[in-house]
Amino acid sequence: MQPSQQPSQQQSERRSEGQTERQPLEGVTVVSVEQAVAAPFATRQLADLGARVIKVERSGGDFARDYDRAARGQSAYFVWCNRGKESVVLDLKQDADRALLDRILAEADVFVQNLAPGAAERLGLGAEALRARHPRLIWCGVSGYGDDGPYAAKKAFDLLVQCESGLVSLTGTPESPARAGISIADVAAGMYAYTGVLTALYERERTGEGSAFDVAMLDALGEWLGQPLFHGLYGSAPLARSGARHPSISPYGHYRAGDGGEVFISVQSDRDWVALCEKVLERPELVRDPRFADNPLRHIHDDELTAIIEEHFAAFGADEALERLDGAGIATARLRSVAEFAAHPQLEVRDRWREFDTPSGPLRGLLPPVTVRGREALMGPVPALGEHTDAVRAEFSGAREGAEGGR
C-alpha cells in the first residue's frame, strides 16, 4: 500500500471529530528541506489543503524559529509559515539520516528545498539526481536569484531582493525610500512555488511523470512589479515615490478632514470623477476644468487637486466625509493599524478567525483566502522542533530503500 494514499494523523483526528470532508491534497506527501519564509510559506499552503508535509530541520531548527518571541514566546514568522507540518530533525551529512531521507523521498510526491546555492546538489538532492531515482517526484527549488548568472551564489534575504528588484525605489516618501512592510519577496516566491507544485501535480495526473522547476525571489517580485517596470521602460519618466498616494492615478490616496483625520479615496474612472465633483465636492465645473480632463492630467496637477479636496473636507470630520463619499459611490477606506485590522468587523461577521495549536498553546489565525464552499482548510498544529522525528523514523525504518521505479 502506498503511504501517499493514507490519511495523515491530522486528517484522521479531524475525521474522528466529525469533520469528514476529504481535503483536495489528501494523500499527497511533501518533503521539504526548508528554512526562513519563502519555501515554508509555500508548503504551508499545501498543508492547509490536506497534504502531509514532512519538514526536515537541522539540529538547531529552522532559524526562523528564533526571529522573534512575539507569538506567546514563539516566532511570529514561524507560526505563520509552519502550521500543519511534521518536524523531523535530521543531520543530512550523516549516512544514516541521509539514507532515512532517501527512504522518505521514495514514498513522496513532492520535494521542496530552499537551501543555500549549490547545497542541494552537494547533498545529492538536486533535481537531476532525485528525479533519476524517482521519475514521478515533483522537485521544486526556491532561490534568491536563480541557479546561474553572476548572482547565483549570492545570499538573498527579503529586504535585499526588494532592493535589487527596484521595489524599495518605489516605496516610501519622495525624500526617503522604504522597505515594503511585509516580506513581500518571500511571499511572492512562495506563492509561485505553491502554484507551481499544484500545476505539476495536475500535469502528473495526465502524463504519469513528475517534473522539476525553480522559483527565484527576484523573478517572482519582478512579475509583481510589472506595471512600474513597463512604465519605466516606455514612459517618459520613471515612477516617483509617493508615500501613501498612488504614483500614477489621481485622486488616489489620503486627504485630511476638518477634525485632523485622514480619508483615503480612489477615483478610478471618469464616471467616478464626475460623481466626486458633482455629489461630494459640489463643484460640477471641475469636470470640465482643463487641468483635470483625464487621469494623466489630474495626476500632473495632483497638488492643486489635493488642495481643492482638502479645502472642501475641512468643513467635515473624517466620519462625515467618508459617509458622503460612500453615498456618492466613491471607493473609500480608513487607515487602520494591524491591531485594528485584527478587530475588523468584516472579518468578524464572516467568521474568518480560527484557533490552531502550537507548542505554547492555541493561537488565533485567519482562514486561508480561498474559501471552498462546504469545506474548510485544516489549519493544523505548529510543530515543536523534532516533534515527529521518532514517529517518522519508525514509519520508514522498514520501507524499501530506493523504491524500484520511483514514485
Task: Return the active site residues.
Answer: 246
Q: How far apart (Å, rounded) are the C-alpha atoms in residues 4 and 15?
A: 18
Grid cell digits, residue 327: 453615498
**Closest of 379, 132, 186, 12 to residue 124, by C-alpha:** 132
In this structure, the strands spanning 262-266 and 252-256 are antiparallel
Grid cell digits, residue 247: 504614483
> Other CB atoms closer than 10 Å to residue 322's CB: what's the count?
20
Which three-class secondary structure state does DSSP give residue 286?
helix
CA distances from 133 to 95, 174, 196, 238, 403 (A): 18, 54, 21, 49, 8
Amino acid at 107: E
Maximum Cα interatomic distance, the chain, rounded to a whole number of Å: 82
Structural element, H or E, at residue 89: strand 85-89
Rounded to the nearest 10 degrees, how much is the dihedral formed by the CA atoms of 79, 384, 126, 95? 170
Structural element, H or E, at residue 223: helix 217-224
Q: How far apart (Å, rounded) are the C-alpha atoms in residues 114 and 40?
A: 9
In this structure, the strands spanning 29-33 and 110-113 are parallel
Q: Is-contact 68 75, C-beta < 8 A?
A: yes
Q: How far apart (Å, rounded) are the C-alpha atoms in residues 179 and 165?
A: 12
Q: How far apart (Å, rounded) are the C-alpha atoms in residues 198 and 214?
A: 14
Residue 127 CB-density burial (10 A; 0-12 exposed, 13-18 middle, 19+ buried): buried
User: What is the DSSP code string of 237-258?
Assistant: SPPPP-TTS-SS-SSEEEEE-T
